[in-house]
Amino acid sequence: MSRPIHTLLHLPRSAKRLLVLLVDASLCILTIWLSLCLRYESWISLANPPYPWVALASVGLALPLFIVFGLYRAIFRYSGWPALMAVTRAVTVYGLLFAAIFTAHSFAAIPRTIGILQPVLLLLTVGASRAFASYWLGGAYHAILRRSSLPSAVIYGAGEAGRQLASALSHSSELRVVAFLDDAPSLKDQILNGLTIYAPADLPDLVTTLGIQKVLLALPSVPRKRRQQILDQIMPLHVNVQTLPSVSDLAHGRLSIADLREPDIEDLLGRDPVPPDAALFNRHNAGQVVLVTGAGGSIGSELCHQILTAQPAHLLLLEQSEFALYEIHQRLAPLCQELNIQLTPLLGSVTDEGRLQSILQHWQPHTLYHAAAYKHVPLVEHNMVPGLYNNVWGTWICASMAAANNVKHFVLISTDKAVRPTNVMGASKRLAEMILQALSPRHPDTCFSMVRFGNVLGSSGSVVPLFRAQIRAGGPITITHQDVTRYFMTIPEAAQLVIQAAAMAIGGDVFVLDMGDPVRIVDLARRMIELSGLTVLDADNPEGDIALEITGLRPGEKLYEELLIGDAPQATQHPRILKAHEAHWPWESLEPKLVKLKEALVHSDFDELRQLLMTLVAGYQPASRITDWLASVPRQADREL
């Protein structure tokens, strides 16, 4: 909307009526002059007597009639046929009276024809003025009416991103921007795009006076720690917060409402990622054949994306899920074509020794990232045999085949749940680590390493998308225990650190990623509710919006996760990567136990499986009885007895 239209539409009602009265008076005078010019077929001066008296008579007669006929009620909402009919009726009555005075009665030096011509011209010009007003102002007026009912928003950040966002939202049918906020003292009370810039400290008052319902963070280049501080200031106000992505994600240039999103949980963590070290990042990937197992999973797919930035010669995707393999191949294929990188999607399981042998023998990969694993704690707890078979036996096969086929670097993606595990999944991942530790001295030509980290944001099973869905559904948010804490990291950051950690390995290394401080899940849920503009429904606030429901710990779930078994981790050349010193079994002692584990898997001997895990994995303390779905089903031999 242009500034003149905006200014005109926001005039007081009395000012608008006075303006239209002046317009109509001017049209009366204009049409008197035009009538005289048409009658005499030449341009004449309206100042010549007695013409000024005719013009005054026209104004004095027309305006009272127009008022009586309601032409000045709700001026800018008059449009279409009803408005034209009102004008026609008013001018018709005016024409009859004007003709009676200047045509039927007549005055000296005033042609009779003016009593006929001028009312006709006045009808045309007044009607045209109303049609023009409807066309020029009506749409804008109704847009103002519509937008006045939209949620009010304030843009935090009066920089380039904020200005672009305000421009993009100027015609939005979803919300209306009413002000800016900015930290710069020099900008306070300035006007930008017709909107006042306020200090952030004014926001609590603005929520009341302007009815602010949304805060839009247009701060794409602000450090994450500062974003966290801003969110902490906004949360008590119970307004909805949306934010623009980082500068790197805004490569398309122009901003739109589609760029707005809910604050990422990493914004709440307040930890900025460390840029990757290019030398470490490219060391084992650039120009090489690289294989990723579990390539369609959350971590595996991100690893593939990150590896492509190092421009390998050939990327092999191994995945047992047809759909997941199709999806990751479709996403990566255009980029590989652009970078001239070979990309091969391979269906297969890491437990299929023959399939894996064929793949490794044919393509001879230089680096293998082993991300294939069953990782959901309750599912593995209820499905012990496939969980152990995939995570332990699959890792043993992959590692053995890698050593036999001269793979130079083998990297296992591990988890913090491998530390003093209370569940089968964690025990299986610790046992997978121990296999690599034990194999490393026996196969010096293959560098085995493993990287251990906590929860990654946005992965399958992550609490963040679950909580968001529960908030959208009106709650409740389900939490297993009020004291549960977890470490969090973004998927891209975790994948980058995995690649860099592997580049520092010398054989048998256990790397641990610095995940920052652990986060209480109940605090995370509360922050997500409050940043959605809602309140927590609890005993202190019975009128709240979203309740928190404590459901109880699931089988095998821990209250707290750890990243280290031993103490005194060793620093590395990367500030976010530590090297752990973890005790393990030598291969000569471990292998017979693994053979027994394999036999127990074949026979689904759940008691033997648990006993072997407790023997092999130091610190494994099951948190519950065996909960495998088949453990309580009588075996055929038992039924025959």
CA 565 to chain centre: 36
Alpha-carbon Rg for the chain, nearest whole angstrom, is: 38
Which CA distances in Å does 452 have to 24, 114, 440?
A: 81, 97, 17
The token duo for 370 is: 């082993």
> Is-cis flag, bond preceding 151, omega within 30?
no
**DSSP code per residue over 247-315:** GGG-TT-S--GGG-BPPPHHHHHT-PPPPP-HHHHHTTTTTSEEEEETTTSHHHHHHHHHHHHT--SEE
The token duo for 156 is: 């935090």
DSSP state for residue 102 in the 8-state scheme: I
Catalytic annotation on 16? no
| Cα 487 from Cα 400, distance rounded (Å) | 32
| Cα 412 from Cα 432, distance rounded (Å) | 8
Helix 13-40, helix 51-68: angle, nearest 10: 140
Helix 322-339, helix 298-309: angle, nearest 10: 10
Residues 101, 57, 69: CA angle, nearest 5 degrees: 90
Whether the CB-CB separation of 44 and 109 falls below 8 Å is answered with no
What strands, in cross-sheet order, belong to the sheet with 546-550? 477-479, 546-550, 536-537
Q: Which of 234, 73, 102 is nearest to 155 (CA)?
A: 234
Phi, psi of 455 (to 5 degrees): -70, 140
Phi, psi of 369 (to 5 degrees): -100, 115
Which residue type is seen at 83? A
Whether the CB-CB separation of 284 and 503 falls below 8 Å is answered with yes
Beta-ladder partners of 548: 477
Q: Which of 565, 571, 552, 580 is nearest to 620 (CA)?
A: 565
Which CA distances in Å does 420 have to 382, 487, 562?
A: 20, 16, 8
**DSSP code per residue over 400-424:** HHHHHTT-SEEEEEEEGGGSS-SSH
The active-site residue out of 16, 214, 375, 417 is 417
| Cα 357 from Cα 219, distance rounded (Å) | 51
The burial class, CB within 10 Å (0-12 / 13-18 / 19+), for 186 is exposed
With tokens 């959901």, the residue in question is 376
Q: Which of 475, 472, 499 is nearest to 547 (CA)?
A: 475
Residues 496, 499, 502: CA angle, nearest 5 degrees: 145
Which residue type is seen at 403? A
- The residues assigned a catalytic role are 417
